[in-house]
Amino acid sequence: MLVSPTPNAIATTEILLAIFADFLNVDVGAGDAAYDTLKTYRRQVRQFINWCDRAHLNPAEATKEDIKRYRHWMIHTQNFKPATVGLKLSVVRRFYQAAADRGLIRFNPANGVKPPREKRDPAERITYLEQSEVEQFLDAVPQDGTLKSLRDKTLLAIMALEGPRTVELHRANIRDVVRQGNNLGIRVEGKRNIRIVPLTPAIASVLMDYLDARDASGEALKPSRPLFIAVGNRAGGNRLSRRGIRAIVDRYLTQTSLKHSPGRTISTHSLRHTAGTLALRSGAELRQVQDLLGHADPRTTCIYAHVADRWENNPALRLGIKL
């Protein structure tokens, strides 16, 4: 049981952290927050506590000016980007709100302390592969019928054409392969919801070949088994980690010389951008792409439309001026 300090007493850092730990378990994500979310919250709060220690500041006595000093440190000493500063401030705000709700502090000193404005073009961070590059990327997987090749082909095709997040495929189990009529899909758990990623017939066929190969290897394909497993090393058969997924993607990107090019670096997350951008360019409706990618806010999906429109409908193209 958590013990609150006596009235008018200054809460200790240990008590604040205990209250925050209870808040993480009970309140974040309506009590069902993902492990990665909780890990992020704890890491961000620990960074703030460490900063307080270096500043010889009791977190329970922090003022709004102290939070602004923390913001200044993040911007000018750590050189964090505005989005990163925004995330860290939001966690600190929730840290103090948990204490305020328990009556440990009289007010939340982080309220009203905003991150600097993002000066970058929102579309600038969207990196993606062109359709011909996606074909080159997928063709790089050997057609040798091995378990490893079938896994890689399935994984890369789903990521580049359907756009799920890395963590969603990392979490997926065999039970999450669902059939609706003649169609196959994968049930994935996103940031705030659960959705079904529909698979094209070609991807569904490769997925079933991959699962058949696992069955033929003698593995018992129980519903609780991970959908994507490590192959050919000491962790063989274990769930493929997010780092493992990134390593697979980067290996094929490097092999096809698509990883780095002037003005562009492709990452695992770029495959998600690829799916969204190419889908809109091919004529898919915004709502359909929003549903495919699991965006809560359609404005997020609109960024992909803006990227495609910027080049194809550049007003300067209408001038017809030759150089």
Q: Which residues are catalytic?
A: 165, 191, 269, 272, 295, 304
- Cβ contact 45:20 at 8 Å: yes
Alpha carbon dihedral 75, 78, 83, 88, in 10-degree steps, equals: -100
At 217 the three-state DSSP class reads coil
Distance from first CA to last CA of the chain, Å, rounded?
76
Q: Residue 285: exposed, middle, or buried by beta-carbon count in 10 A (0-12, 13-18, 19+)?
A: exposed
At 139 the three-state DSSP class reads helix
Q: Please give the helix or strand (H or E) that residue 303 lies within, else none.
A: helix 298-312
- Cβ contact 172:226 at 8 Å: yes
At 196 the three-state DSSP class reads strand
Q: How far apart are CA 43 and CA 69, in angstroms?
A: 19
Contacts of 59 (CB under 8 A, 6+ apart): 13, 16, 48, 49, 52
- Cβ contact 188:197 at 8 Å: yes
- Transcribe 239-260 into DSSP letters: BPPHHHHHHHHHHHHHHTT-SE
**CB atoms closer than 10 angstroms to residue 20:** 23
Q: Any long-range contacts for 178-185 (C-beta under 8 Å, 24+ apart)?
A: 184/208
